[in-house]
Structure 1
């Protein structure tokens, strides 16, 4: 890439472009420093890799890959529910206007009440329908890709292809063998594009899926520590107030 820029921009020092984060090998983000024992340990593959990812650690902590899987699956469910609710609400609203254009209501409040009732019911139906579909597809895709990456011990395009093939085939299995094969082929194609996209994105940015998973796990741990700290402060405050009340009552009883 430096050679390409030197051809088109021969008079511009290449270091001037390092601010965009593409032409420097030094990352501008915090890196996780591991101990010598972790550095000497070879990446686990096969069944050991699956156990490392999907089973709790020695102290009950979850792996970075499994934490990312939970967060992304939950996010896909909420995004699917939001998309389905808005989509179904818009369709119901337009249908109500078209079908009841010439309908005479007792008053405008009655029309608004019926419209609100139908739109609310449609939002709930759409949220459940699309939240289930998108959430289930994303969960199957993410679980499969995470399992394949854990089995191989490295990240690449292959796990996205297998994950797309698995998710697409399972979603079309109700259409028979032809539907299963068609869904698998389409899923493999979409998975390959997704894998190439992320692989190229990580190559350009100089990061990796592992670093992103570690960062997300660290953010989750910091959030849990913050919530735990707030809870402890609240309990200590409540304990202090109750203790002062008890001491005050004891002093009153001793005075009498």
Structure 2
């Protein structure tokens, strides 16, 4: 049996972090990583969605000033569709990036 050193204690702590206790719950450290990753993904999703949808709104107004719509409801519907799709795209892009970064940093 080799003597306890700081290197061995560090490796044991990392192994212990990924083990469950007798009740089947994960360790507090791993729970913190999980929660930080989800929070980072949520913040990234909101941030990316706002940025991307704002760009879509400005782009829609610039491109469709001379476009004739059937009525104002048709124009609002097309704007809302473009806004929603771009919010989802931006949210997914930034949410995954920030979630992965936060999880790996923790």
TM-score interval for Structure 1 and Structure 2 normalised by the shorter chain: 0.7 to 0.9
Counterpart of 1:126 (choices 90, 93, 99) is: 90
1:108 alignment partner in structure 2: 72
Unmatched segments (≥5 aa) in structure 2: 1-5
Q: Normalising by structure 1, what TM-score?
A: 0.37
Over aligned residue pairs, what C-alpha RMSD do you find?
A: 1.7
Unmatched segments (≥5 aa) in structure 1: 1-42, 143-256
Specify the SS of the correspondent of 2:41.
helix
Higher Cα radius of gyration: 1
Deviations 1:33-77 (A, max 9, x none): xxxxxxxxxx98222111221211233232221111111111111
Q: Distance in 1 between matches of 2:55 and 2:17?
A: 43
Kindly indicate whether structure 1 or structure 2 has the higher relative contact order, using CA contacts under 8 Å at least 6 residues apart: 2
Name the count of aligned residue pairs. Answer: 100
Counterpart of 1:66 (choices 20, 30, 38) is: 30
Q: Normalising by structure 2, what TM-score?
A: 0.85
Q: Distance in 2 between matches of 1:53 and 1:139?
A: 15
1:137 alignment partner in structure 2: 101
Q: Distance in 1 between matches of 2:87 and 2:66?
A: 25
Specify the SS of the correspondent of 1:45.
helix
Counterpart of 2:20 (choices 47, 53, 56) is: 56
